[in-house]
């Protein structure tokens, strides 16, 4: 029913890179996220493979966003992390046609498609720059004391 941990971590990792604006190595990221180094590396590999982050080997290597934060949407990250687009019901996924009961294309599929569409639209309308903005709004002016 829920998005996976991997999706959760992926979001945070991209957010972290977006906020820092600099290249970071996996160890720093994993520490900032409180996720094991191994698992962070696995996820970063996936994100790099999908072209959301660029990776650099060797000393001074690490990861950075492949595009500016205002050009990466939540939907993109979710799709990569989950392996496919968000869908509230399985019956909307390819190769998983609902052929039980209900004559032909059922009423529920119709409804699930509607909800799924709304969620995806929301997610594709929000970038990581927006998220940073949102966070700033929530924490009202933490200026020097």
Partner DNA sequence: ACTAAAATATACAAACTTAGTATATTTTGC
Partner DNA sequence: GCAAAATATACTAAGTTTGTATATTTTAGT
Choose from DNA, its own copies, none: what does 58 bind? Cβ within 5-8 Å by kind.
Answer: DNA
Beta carbons within 8 Å of 84's beta carbon, 6+ residues apart = 93
Could you tell me the smallest distance in angstroms from the CB atom of residue 122 to DNA? 21
* Token pair listed for 132: 């940073």
Piece of 20-28, 49-57, 60-68, 96-104 that binds its own copies (CB under 8 A): 96-104
Of 60, 83, 76, 57, which is closest to residue 14 (Cα–Cα)? Answer: 76
Going through 21-138 in order, the beta strands assigned E by DSSP cover: 53-56, 62-65
Angle (nearest 5°) at CA 80 between 77 and 81:
85
Q: Give the footprint of DNA on this chain (CB under 7 A).
A: 1, 4-6, 25-27, 35-36, 38-39, 41-42, 44-45, 48-49, 55-63
Choose from its own copies, DNA, none: what does 64 bind? Cβ within 5-8 Å by kind.
Answer: none
The footprint of its own copies on residues 103-142 (CB under 8 A) is 106-108, 110-111, 115, 118-119, 122-123, 126, 131, 134-135, 138
Residues in the site for its own copies, rule: CB under 8 A?
A: 1-5, 8, 11-12, 15-16, 32-35, 74, 82, 86-91, 93, 98-102, 106-108, 110-111, 115, 118-119, 122-123, 126, 131, 134-135, 138
């Amino acid at each position: 029913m829920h998005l996976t941990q991997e999706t959760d971590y992926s979001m945070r990792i991209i957010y972290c890179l977006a906020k820092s604006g600099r290249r970071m190595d996996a160890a720093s990221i994993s520490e900032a996220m409180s996720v094991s180094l191994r698992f962070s590396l696995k996820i970063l590999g996936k994100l790099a493979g999908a072209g959301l982050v660029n990776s650099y080997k060797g000393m001074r290597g690490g990861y950075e966003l492949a595009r500016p934060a205002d050009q990466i949407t939540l939907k993109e990250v979710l799709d990569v992390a989950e392996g496919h687009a968000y869908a509230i019901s399985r019956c909307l996924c390819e190769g998983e046609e609902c052929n039980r009961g209900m004559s032909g294309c059922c009423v529920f599929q119709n409804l699930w498609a509607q909800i799924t569409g709304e969620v995806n639209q929301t997610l594709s309308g929000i970038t990581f720059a927006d998220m940073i903005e949102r966070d700033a709004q929530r924490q009202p002016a933490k200026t020097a004391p």
